[in-house]
Amino acid sequence: MIAQLPILQVIVPLLAAPCCLLVGRSKLLWFFALLASAMTFVISLVLLQQVQESGTIHYSLGGWSAPFGIEYRIDLLNAYLLLIVSSITSIILLTAHASITAELNENKHKLFYVVFLLCLAGMLGIIATGDAFNLFVFLEISALSSYTLIALGQKRQALTAAFRYLLVGTLGASFILIGIGLMYMVTGTLNMFDLSERLPQVEESRTVVTAFSFLILGVCLKLALFPLHWWLPNAYAYAPSVVSALLAATATKVAIYILLRFIFTVFGGEFSFTTLPLQEILSVLGIAGVLTASVMAIYQQNVKQLFAYSSVAQIAYMMLALAMNSTNGLIATLLHLFNHALMKGALFLALAGVMYRLGSVELTQFAGLGKRMPWTMAAIVIGGLSLIGLPLTVGFISKWYLLRAALENGWWPLAIFILLGSLLAVVYVWRIVETAYFSPAKAGHNQIKEAPLRLLLPTWILVLANLYFGCDASFTIAVTELTAQALLGGAP
Amino acid sequence: MITGNVLSAFISNEWQLQLTILLPLAATLAIRLAHKRPNVREAISLVTSAMLVLLSYSLYRNLSLGFELKLVWFEVIPGLELSFTTEPLALLFALMASFLWLVTSIYSIGYMRGLRESGQTRFYQFFAIAIATVMGIAFAANLFTLFVFYELLTLSTYPLVTHAGDDKAKSGGRTYLALLLSTSFIFFMLAIMGTWLVAGTLDFAPGGIFGHQAAPGTCAVLLVLFILGIGKAAVVPFHRWLPAAMVAPTPVSALLHAVAVVKGGVFTILKVCSYIFGLELMPDLVSSQALLYLAGASVFLASLVAMRQDNLKKRLAYSTISQLGYVTIAALLANNAGVIAGGMHMVIHAFGKITLFFCAGAIVIRTGKKQISQMAGLGRQMPFTMVAFFIASLAIIGLPPTAGVWSKWFLLQGVLDAQQWLLLLVLCLSSLMSIFYLLAIPVRAFFPGSEPGPRSSVRQEAPLPVLIAIGISTLACLLLFLFPQPLFDLAAAVTTTQGGEVR
């Protein structure tokens, strides 16, 4: 059983998805989906512990050993990402029943859970697999299911948003496929470990450089790196609240994982940073992304859209940290993967609570909510402070490492831009705070009550996690330090 | 040193240290629970503040004046821990803040009830949180801990500044947050990170932590970042938040914006100068001269602006900016007299300025007057208040028989030792200006001449709690003139803990 864990991680949600069709009532469906995702969470915990104890886990699918069969390979990076995705998804799923009852028609509930689990399976598959083509397959599974999830949104704009995402996503996936195809052409293998061994012998060839460029571009489309981010804000804003939370907290993390895997494992850090001017590209786009997206966030009227732009900015931070090409920079990227998932998870779940009570997350609707929904608003304030990077929240931990990496590289102006970015975050967070606590409540909002406990509890689990991992970062730092060293040290 | 201290028999020093932070926090909860019973709620505030004074005093009595007690809460990032220690400057600050919290608690009961303010429970709650963070700043053992509580103080005072909840309060609150957060996020944070990378530690240590291997150029840049980053010290050009914060209720202006927040700022500067850079390194830095002139400009310009203010609280705010400049100068002089002057002025100005704010509030409660031009002839109506105002003004200016004379004395000595002739001129000019803008108020209140103003000869003083508070703080200004020794000893201990060769 223990030996089968790497595949179980993916198979459980993948099989649970069609099984949902057999379950009748909505509440039962929810329990079932929750059970499946909780199982993946437990499995990921065990996997992380195993990897920490005894190193990388290899698993040959169907007994066909690599490079002929598909290999699942769990090293520290995989285990860490699996833990992030499965834990956050499970917590988000806790709110699903209450939230979708309010937002979706009864007849769509079944579809929702099926697609949600497929999306989870896709994301976990991307992370767990050691095979480049298999990765593409799972990428498509998660992408197609997230288009569907977004299209489930109440408003008609959800359809356009989903369609836009579909166009960009397909484009990105095609680029990735082209990249993988080119690599296969040169090396004759799809196994990522094999690729990393064979590519250095042919790295001079133009095909490899082309493959690399296609891959990077494709992934950057997927992870919404500025200026390829325009699909993201609407997709987050019009999707059902649970889906917004899932996408914001986990989906982009998976894309960043792909980027890290290709840059550091498959091609190797040295090749990646010398063939293309990656450092320059990522740092310029990163800075531009942080500043532009943060400023855009300030002008949004829809709070989901506001936080969506903030996500674009946070992704830009991660790319900026990656551009440092140093251990501390990489640690900052990895830390922020986890920390950002906690912040955005908490914030979007709190928004789900607002959506549940008000049916809208327009900023004007927040007037007077500080009194009406004190716990939900407190969650938004703490999540917002974490986003700003106040000490004792997780945001500070990421910022500290990012700043440290920037100064160690001697990039003083960059450090100032990074700090400027967190001031912009103060501005957009404070727009919500001022509306919620200072504007008088709207007429007809006097009956608004606090969000139900089913929504509040998961939100606060994440809020408290923001504080806990902000006060004691030893776990995250220990894992990310080892991961960063392993990645920079070359092959897994 | 150990005396028959009752507290120590029950509570260890470590616990006393953390109770200074935990106790006000616990009080917050208790205040919340008692929100339906104002009397119980206020009693909780009073008892907690009295206990806090006892705790600070007991710490002061039990400990020799060094970095001997250290308490670690938890480690956030390897090398960055939340930890606390006691040293003379910290004790000085804690004693002052806790004592004045007690006085302000008495005052706010009279003030808040006198004006029937809304949201009183929230007010007392955030007040208690603010004091907890002030204690955290006082006893912080390293820059990181100090930074954490520094930011928390900004955030916990924001709801107090915006207490009124109207548009004016909102925009005042915006300026407050914007300036305090932007200076601390950009400059202070960079300075801390720079210190960490250069020195490899953030712990406060006697004589500084940079040692001899640090490049003087880098240290000079860091000093600039520190002085600009500690926005709470209100050095020009980052002073605008202080007048903006005057939209707050008077007890808040009194305790926080004359004492806790601004003193948190200059305290941080004193601490950074003495325990991060050290008195030996400071004079060698090229930037310290420029920063001295910046602080001098701050002193001079703020005095100039204060003379033109007709709103009493605004005038007091600008006077505070000017007086904070004195402490900043004292810290930057980096000689023995300077450090003593800095420590003493931090405390003495606190007593004087809190009295002035108390009086301003008392006038608002009884007459609703906020403009100085309306206050001519007020002396007949509120003689006690205006006499207190007069004495406190003397303390700020630095004239006998008030304690202000001592700190000004040492500051002049420090300036002379450092041979800063231009600064000497600035300080003298500014003192003259402060005579004009402060003393004019009580003088015109008692001798209105032919000016139009209230002619009511009926005595109408503020409620009793307000008067008690004013009486205590005024008395302190006078007593510290007669018995400045404990204050001097604490301030002087900062220079003797410097270690090595004392300059």
Residue B407 corresponds to which tokens in the numbers above?
A: 């700190």
Distance separating the N- and C-terminal Cα atoms of chain B? 27
Non-local CB neighbours of B174 within 8 Å, separated by 6+ positions: A430, A434
Residues in B touching A473 (Cβ below 8 Å): 76-77
ipTM field: 0.90
Minimum-distance CB partner of A473 among B76, B177, B186: B76
Q: How close does chain A come to B76, measured CA to CA in Å?
A: 5
CB contact under 8 A, B77 and A400: yes
Q: In chain A, which residue's Cα lies nearest the Cα of B174?
A: A430
**CA quadruple A357, A358, A361, A364: dihedral sign:** negative
Neighbours of B422 (CB within 10 A): 11
Residue A187 pLDDT > 70, yes or no? yes
Give the total residue count for chain A.
Answer: 492
Q: How close does chain B come to A300, measured CA to CA in Å?
A: 19
Q: Which residues of chain B have pLDDT under 70?
A: 1-6, 8-9, 63-67, 450-457, 497-503
From CA B58, how far away is CA A370, in angstroms rounded?
41
What does the pLDDT look like over A255-272, one tens digit per residue?
Answer: 999 999 999 988 888 888
Check: CB of residue A366 under 8 Å from CB of residue A303: yes
Q: Which of A339-348, A482-491, B445-454 has the highest mean pLDDT?
A: A339-348
CB contact under 8 A, B77 and A438: no
φ, ψ (nearest 5 deg) of residue B160: -75, -40
Query: What is the three-state SS of A411-428?
Result: CHHHHHHHHHHHHHHHHH
Residues in A touching B186 (Cβ below 8 Å): 416, 419-420, 423
From CA A313, how far away is CA A67, in angstroms rounded?
39
Torsion of the alpha carbons at B36, B42, B48 and B53, rounded to the nearest 10:
170
Q: In chain B, which residue's Cα lies nearest the Cα of A472?
A: B76
CB contact under 8 A, A473 and B147: no
Residue among B357, B138, B129 nearest B264 (CA)? B138
Residue A492's pLDDT is what?
39
Task: Read off the pLDDT of each residue in A7-13 and give the average, rounded to a whole number.
Answer: 90
Residue B3's pLDDT is what?
46
Minimum-distance CB partner of B165 among A400, A403, A438: A438
Residues in B touching A392 (Cβ below 8 Å): 76, 148
Those residues of chain B whose CB sits closer than 8 Å to some CB in chain A are: 74-78, 80, 82, 144, 147-148, 151, 155, 162, 165, 170, 174, 177-178, 181-182, 185-186, 189-190, 193-194, 196-197
Q: What angle do CA B107, B112, B117 make, to 5 degrees?
A: 165
Residue A261 corresponds to which tokens in the numbers above?
A: 């895997």
Check: CB of residue B157 under 8 Å from CB of residue B252: yes
What does the pLDDT look like over A54-107, one tens digit per residue?
Answer: 888 888 887 777 677 888 889 899 999 999 999 999 999 999 999 988 888 888
The per-residue DSSP string of B448-460 comes to -TT-------S--
- Ramachandran bin of B37, using left for φ above 0, alpha for ψ from -120 to 50, beta for the remaining angles: beta
Neighbours of A101 (CB within 10 A): 16
From CA A193, how far away is CA A189, in angstroms rounded?
9
Residue B68's pLDDT is what?
72
Helix (H, G, I), strand (E, B) or coil at B377: coil
Helix (H, G, I), strand (E, B) or coil at A239: coil
From CA A75, how far away is CA A72, in angstroms rounded?
10
Residue A95 corresponds to which tokens in the numbers above?
A: 């709110």
Minimum-distance CB partner of A391 among B151, B165, B181: B151
Q: Suggest the residue from A298, A393, A419 to mutate for an interface test with chain B (most B CBs closer than 10 A).
A: A419
CB contact under 8 A, B76 and A472: yes
Residue B4's pLDDT is what?
45
From CA B76, how far away is CA A387, in angstroms rounded?
18
Cross-strand pairs, B272: none
Residue B1's pLDDT is what?
40
Q: How close does chain B come to A192, measured CA to CA in Å?
A: 34
CB contact under 8 A, A419 and B189: yes
- CA B468 to chain centroid: 21
Residue B452's pLDDT is what?
59
Task: Read off the pLDDT of each residue in A272-293 and give the average, rounded to a whole number.
Answer: 90
How far lies A111's CA from each of A100, A123, A137, B85, B264, in Å?
12, 18, 21, 59, 58
What does the pLDDT look like over A399-413, one tens digit per residue?
Answer: 999 999 999 988 888
From CA B467, how far away is CA B471, in angstroms rounded?
6
Query: What is the three-state SS of A142-204?
Result: HHHHHHHHHHCCCCCHHHHHHHHHHHHHHHHHHHHHHHHHHHHHHHCCCEHHHHHHHHHHHCC
Residues in A touching B125 (Cβ below 8 Å): none
Residue among A206, A156, A162 nearest A186 (CA)? A206
- Ramachandran bin of A62, using left for φ above 0, alpha for ψ from -120 to 50, beta for the remaining angles: left
- CA A145 to chain centroid: 15
A and B: number of Cβ contacts within 8 A: 64
Minimum-distance CB partner of B74 among A404, A419, A471: A471
pLDDT band at A488 (very low <50, low <70, confident <90, very high): confident
From CA B397, how far away is CA B434, in angstroms rounded?
6
Domains of chain B, residue spans = 6-496
Residues in B touching A434 (Cβ below 8 Å): 170, 174
Check: CB of residue B471 under 8 Å from CB of residue B342: no
Higher pLDDT, B455 or A227: A227
Neighbours of B309 (CB within 10 A): 18
Q: In chain A, which residue's Cα lies nearest the Cα of B144?
A: A391
Q: How close does chain B come to A419, measured CA to CA in Å?
A: 6
- CA B449 to chain centroid: 36
CB contact under 8 A, B193 and A392: no
Residue A301's pLDDT is what?
93
Check: CB of residue A159 under 8 Å from CB of residue A150: no
CB contact under 8 A, B197 and A407: yes
Domains of chain A, residue spans = 2-488
**CA quadruple A110, A115, A118, A120: dihedral sign:** negative
